[in-house]
Amino acid sequence: GGTASIARFRGALVGAVLGDCLGGEFEGAEEVPMDRVLQHLNGLEEDSRGDCILQYSDDTAMTRCVVQSLLTRGEFDQQDMAHRFAEEYRQAPGRGYGSGVVQVLRKLSSPRLSDVFQPARAQFGGRGSFGNGGAMRSAPFALAFRNLPDVKRYARLGAMLTHSCSLGYNGAVLQALAVHYSLQGALSVPQVFINRLISEMEGVENEDCARNDARALNEPEFPFCARLHRIKDLMERNTVSIEEVISELGNGIAALHSVPTAIFCVLHCLEPRPGLPEQYGGLERTVAYCLALGGDTDTIACMAGAIAGAHYGVDAIPQAWQRCCEGAEEAEAWADRLHLLYHKQPQEG
Ligand code: R7I
Ligand code: MG
Ligand code: MG
């Protein structure tokens, strides 16, 4: 479909849910042979009765909260979103949340809380979490807001409800930017896509908080930009091994070690690659590749799934995969409503 078409909106949200559900199988595994990944994915095709329900985790649970808050309020409402996170956690605490964030979610359910950003700021000795929990749920900001400054502003604030370290919330901004540009069709020229991300992130990371956090955590200045430059280097190479991707970009639970990785997976899988089935399209390749990295597979596949889904559109996602994943059907319905909200806004600039 065309730029910001309904197929792209559906692809983004269904892709995110699928990545979470399919990636759950390998979360935390150290090395995953591609054979095992393909066996897992082929198993879905064979299950014709559709009774192989793969459950979603915190990634989708929190994404749903973001979507429902934005749709119900028609704008970003921090109190409402915080309340939904807390309520979702209270009702289903077993979705595999990060071990630190559960403290924030408990505090957010207190009716006496006046500053909803305060519990996040108290995490990890007052610096806040750098985990990827803000980034894993940030795709909806790119689908609800049409204009770039809004995407950046609200992806950041939405993440700060649980992740107040710049290495956490800037990962959410980067993920939302990647979905935003993918929706616009920017992935049809990969160099343009990565250069846009770099130039936007140069502005995003150019602030005192980000400099201080980077210094305190022994990271270079402009840590996300540095990783995006590594992606560019990897893109210029003819062959890249899974081991090199893991050592250059990471596959861990920190936003810095997973958001750039997800972006790389999408870019790398735009073309057929050795080791991946020839009959696979780009979206299938992307998901399979993310799973083979091991580590935080549900989250990396969720983020890559959103970016890839916004590029290829929902029709690129196998029906058999969608049938097996909890929440996939519902995700299509949210996408349609977000598409309406997005196109109600005048385009600026
Ligand atoms: O970021 P968060 O919501 O976790 C998301 C991940 C995804 O992979 C989900 O699929 C789920 O499995 O969890 O949760 P946090 O607890 O904020 O951060 C995750 C982990 O990152 C923490 O439990 C810590 O181990 C680590 N971490 C830190 N460690 C030391 N210092 C995050 N921030 C810090 C820090 O500042
Ligand atoms: Mg998870
Ligand atoms: Mg995860």
Would you state the pLDDT for residue 46? 79
Residue 149 makes CB contacts below 8 A (sequence gap 6+) with none
The stretch 187-195 carries a mean pLDDT of: 98
Atom 34 of ligand 1 has which residue's CA nearest to it?
129
Distance CA 153, CA 160 (A): 11
Ligand 1 within 6 A of CB of 124: yes
Q: Which two tokens stand for residue 69?
A: 């808050």
Q: How many CB atoms lie within 10 A of CB 218?
A: 6
Ligand 1 within 6 A of CB of 58: yes
Percent of residues, the chain, with pLDDT higher than 90: 94
The stretch 293-297 carries a mean pLDDT of: 98
The stretch 146-155 carries a mean pLDDT of: 98
Confidence of residue 279 (pLDDT cuts 50, 70, 90): very high
CATH topology of domain 6-54+132-344: ADP-ribosylglycohydrolase fold (1.10.4080)
Ligand 1 within 6 A of CB of 20: no
CB-count exposure of residue 239 (10 Å: 0-12, 13-18, 19+): exposed
Would you state the pLDDT for residue 18? 98
| pLDDT of 52 over the 90 cut | no
Report in angstroms the alpha-carbon separations of 217 from 41, 64, 143, 211, 274: 38, 31, 32, 10, 37
Q: How far is the CA of 250 from the centre of ligand 1 (A)?
A: 15
The stretch 304-322 carries a mean pLDDT of: 97
> Is the interface score ipTM higher than 0.85?
yes
Residue 300 makes CB contacts below 8 A (sequence gap 6+) with 19, 23, 251, 258, 261, 262, 265, 290, 293
Shortest-distance atom of ligand 1 to CA 20:
10
Would you state the pLDDT for residue 111? 86
